Amino acid sequence: MSEFKRPLKRSMFIGSSIFIVLLCLILSILTYRTYTQSLYQSYNDRMTDIINYVYAHIDVEDLSTCVKTGNESEKYKELLTFMDGIMEEFNIHYLYIVYPLSAEPPHMLNILTADTAWGREHEPDGYYLDYVIEDAYKPSDIQLYITALKHDNICFFKNFSSWGYDYTASKALIDNSGNKFGLLCVDIEVYEVERAIRTYTIINIALIVILGVFFITLFLVWITKNITDPISRLEKSVVSFAKVSHQQKDPEKLSYVPPSIHTHNEVESLSNAVAQMSKDMKAYVKSILDAEDKVKDMRSQVSRMDMLAYQDALTHVKNKAWYDKTKERVDGDIAAHRARFGIIMADLNHLKKINDNYGHEHGNDYIFGSCHQICVIYDHSPVFRVGGDEFVVLLENRDYDNRDELFEKIRTSFEISSSSEDKEPWERYSAAFGMAIFDPETDKCMDDVFKRADSYMYQHKMETKSGRES
């Protein structure tokens, strides 16, 4: 037998390993995304503060005049010195003011470019006011600046240039006339950001993997000691007992040798239960076998008779025969002046159309689904299938007390279902309903109430048809 089975220990090892791998993968992805969002948000906040701080020190009208005339004013020079100081203090990649001229060809107008003291001394860029920068940006990156210029608020984007791959925050400069004449930009190297993200993610993945391996090891040691090894011993004893007892007619020859299990958990309890069961089998197996055969035969006969006599084979609700039997009981209540009930008559729409267009199998699905929807709402009332597409609900007790609310609910439920475009045609249940309440002054039997409910149902069906035609 054992060569055809999957050992429990191996299955647990594989299952826990898959679980840990998936857990590591999910946690790693979540860690990467969470840290990336957090880090970029912190950079956004930092760059926003820098942009707003620098913007507050710009004399917009003076700088606008400098751009128009091409002449550097005293305030322009003071702004340049101030922005150089920002470069030194905040350790950013670039701080500058530009105006994008065109994406094709890529032309960028330099207004002001800040630099560190070391950079101005050893690597001056040579850019000055009104200098047109050519071929330093790709057309797609120039387009990012053009798009940012259209916004009044701070924009963030990544861009490539001859100076590197940067994460840029920008804010449009607007003069008193409402004209946008430049973009104040601050850059941080993307490689620096991504390197921090990679480092943090790798460290977290390593910690997760280490914890996962540690968990699997402890889990397998505990499982082996408390479950798999005791179950293995129990299995050997049970298999040996099964071989002896197979087709054994003499209960006295049933011999079970229980294993030594002291785990103080359910496995030990199971072992004791199996041992006790084997003892009970010796005493009762013959009477149990005889009784079982008789009970099976009786249950089979009763089940077949009940299903054939009273249960609808398709929907499993009561059939016409049970309805007639119920009618006798209700008529007796009417005669004894203790009747209090109502009848819901339901007739399914479009069943022939479903059968003709999609086959009787889906027609049966349509009948079953409609019946289920009725049973769910009238869950305290007996439901009868009295025809191919006709159902009757006998309202008594709680459902009788809530009859108006439930009747509105069943009609609304079918109206929603019939108009649901995201379902298959045989799942769009539609039906006409009629409800009649027993009136002791006029109704002499249950059929009187049934006929009135059937009449109301027919009126509903006609109203529905006329509504669709109009």
What pLDDT is recorded for position 375?
A: 95
Average pLDDT score over residue span 143-164: 88
What pLDDT is recorded for position 384?
A: 96
Average pLDDT score over residue span 414-418: 93
Residue 302 confidence class, pLDDT cut points 50, 70, 90: low
Residue 470 confidence class, pLDDT cut points 50, 70, 90: very low
What pLDDT is recorded for position 258?
A: 78
Residue 270 confidence class, pLDDT cut points 50, 70, 90: confident
Residue 433 confidence class, pLDDT cut points 50, 70, 90: very high
| Structure-derived torsion over alpha carbons of residues 16, 19, 20, 21, reported in degrees to the nearest 10 | 120
Question: Out of 38-52, 73-87, 211-225, which region has the weakest mean confidence (pLDDT)?
Answer: 211-225
- Put residue 394 in one of left, alpha, beta given phi > 0 → left and psi -120 to 50 → alpha: beta
Position with higher pLDDT, 254 vs 75: 75
Provide CATH code, domain 1-239: 3.30.450.20
Instruction: Name the DSSP class of 107.
Output: E
Position with higher pLDDT, 286 vs 157: 157
Cα–Cα distance, 414 to 429 (Å, whole number): 6
Position with higher pLDDT, 160 vs 394: 394
Residue 466's alpha-carbon distances to 338, 352, 389, 461, in angstroms, are: 40, 19, 21, 9
Contact 393, 374 (CB under 8 A): yes
What pLDDT is recorded for position 213?
A: 79
Backbone dihedral angles phi then psi of residue 425, each to the nearest 5 degrees: -55, -35
What pLDDT is recorded for position 1?
A: 45
Contact 385, 317 (CB under 8 A): yes
What pLDDT is recorded for position 202?
A: 84
pLDDT digits 0-9 by tens, 111-140? 999 988 887 877 777 778 888 888 788 898
Average pLDDT score over residue span 299-317: 75
Q: Is the peptide bond before 100 cis (omega within 30 degrees of 0)?
A: no
pLDDT at residue 278 greater than cutoff 90: no
Average pLDDT score over residue span 417-424: 90
DSSP states along 310-374: HB-TTT-SB-HHHHHHHHHHHHHHHHTT----EEEEEEESSHHHHHHHH-HHHHHHHHHHHHHHH
pLDDT at residue 283 greater than cutoff 90: no
For the chain, how far is it from start to end, CA to CA, in angstroms?
A: 72
What pLDDT is recorded for position 234?
A: 73
What pLDDT is recorded for position 301?
A: 66
Backbone dihedral angles phi then psi of residue 48, each to the nearest 5 degrees: -65, -45
What pLDDT is recorded for position 165?
A: 84
SS3 of 386, please? Answer: coil
CATH superfamily of 320-469: Reverse transcriptase/Diguanylate cyclase domain (3.30.70.270)
pLDDT digits 0-9 by tens, 392-412? 999 999 999 999 999 999 999
Average pLDDT score over residue span 454-461: 94
pLDDT exceeding 90 applies to what percent of the chain? 49
Structure pTM? 0.44
Q: Which of 3-17, 299-313, 341-355 has the highest mean pLDDT?
A: 341-355
What pLDDT is recorded for position 255?
A: 67
What rounded mean pLDDT belongs to the chain?
85
Position with higher pLDDT, 165 vs 367: 367
Domain with CATH 3.30.70.270 in the chain: 320-469
Residue 185 confidence class, pLDDT cut points 50, 70, 90: very high
Residue of 467, 441, 415, 446 whose CA lies nearest to 345? 446
pLDDT at residue 280 greater than cutoff 70: no
What pLDDT is recorded for position 281?
A: 66
pLDDT at residue 226 greater than cutoff 90: no
pLDDT at residue 42 greater than cutoff 70: yes
Domain with CATH 3.30.450.20 in the chain: 1-239
pLDDT digits 0-9 by tens, 311-365? 888 999 999 999 999 999 999 999 999 999 999 999 999 999 999 999 999 999 9
